[in-house]
Amino acid sequence: MPAMAGTSATLLARKWESAILVNVDNETLRRIMGNESAMNAVMNIEGFRALGSDVIETVVNKSETIAKTKKEKGETLSRDEKKEKEYKSKRKQIQDKLVKFATRIPAFMYLTDFRENTLHDVITKIEPELFKIVTGLTVEDFNLLVSLGVFNATQMNQAVFAFRRYEDASSSYTGIESHEGLRRYGLYDTVVAVESK
């Protein structure tokens, strides 16, 4: 059983480190760029400021320029390959910083006692101060980034569900039912019934 728990923990960690939790397509980046408060919010995410305040604009502009050139001249663009690698590398850096923020969410969930409420409600209505301490983002920042489509709700629901199940399995393995009588799991933005044991 300990080996299984270890594997589950590894898989759970991978879920929270997955790039699919966040959206860094041009459309999403353009929405962030067009909103001063959103730009300030992402700059509050740990490590983001080091990328430079113009990193999002650079990625969007370069990717659009290269896409336009490819369309006009065809796929043979050896001299632009270096530029393409550069903007893809920067997009990956943006993605990594947003994913790093997402990896703090399990720590926040672990510290809260609210299992039946959606994570969104726990963040925005029940424990906003704790959320800011753990992640560095205010509720206003978080809500703004959510409204701009930065987080992939479907993937976040799956990651929260995996966390809740792992947490339950870990506590029952030790013989302790930490949340006795729990009938529902609050996921990211929805609630599901707990499977009967």
Name the CA radius of gyration of the chain, rounded: 20
The region that residue 136 occupies, defined by phi over 0 for left and psi between -120 and 50 for alpha, beta otherwise, is left
Q: What is the pLDDT of residue 127?
A: 96
Domain range for residue 150? 2-193
Question: HSE of 129 in the Cβ direction (CA atoms, 13 Å)?
Answer: 0
Whole-prediction pTM: 0.76
Domain count, the chain: 1
Longest dimension (CA), the chain: 66
Q: What is the pLDDT of residue 28?
A: 95
Strands of the chain, DSSP E: 184-186, 191-193
| CA atoms of 112 and 167, how far apart (whole Å) | 12
Residue with tokens 């930065």: 150
Q: pLDDT (tens digit, 0 to 9) for every residue of the chain, 197 residues total?
A: 444 444 467 777 888 889 999 999 999 999 999 999 999 999 988 888 788 878 888 888 888 777 777 777 665 555 667 777 777 888 899 999 999 999 999 999 989 888 889 999 999 999 999 999 999 899 999 999 999 999 999 999 999 998 888 877 765 555 555 556 567 888 899 888 876 55
Q: What is the pLDDT of residue 170?
A: 67
Burial of 130 (0-12, 13-18, 19+ CB in 10 A): middle
Distances (CA, A) of 4 to 7, 51, 160: 5, 39, 19
Pairing of β 191-193 and β 184-186: antiparallel
| CA atoms of 106 and 177, how far apart (whole Å) | 19
Contacts of 53 (CB under 8 A, 6+ apart): 39, 43
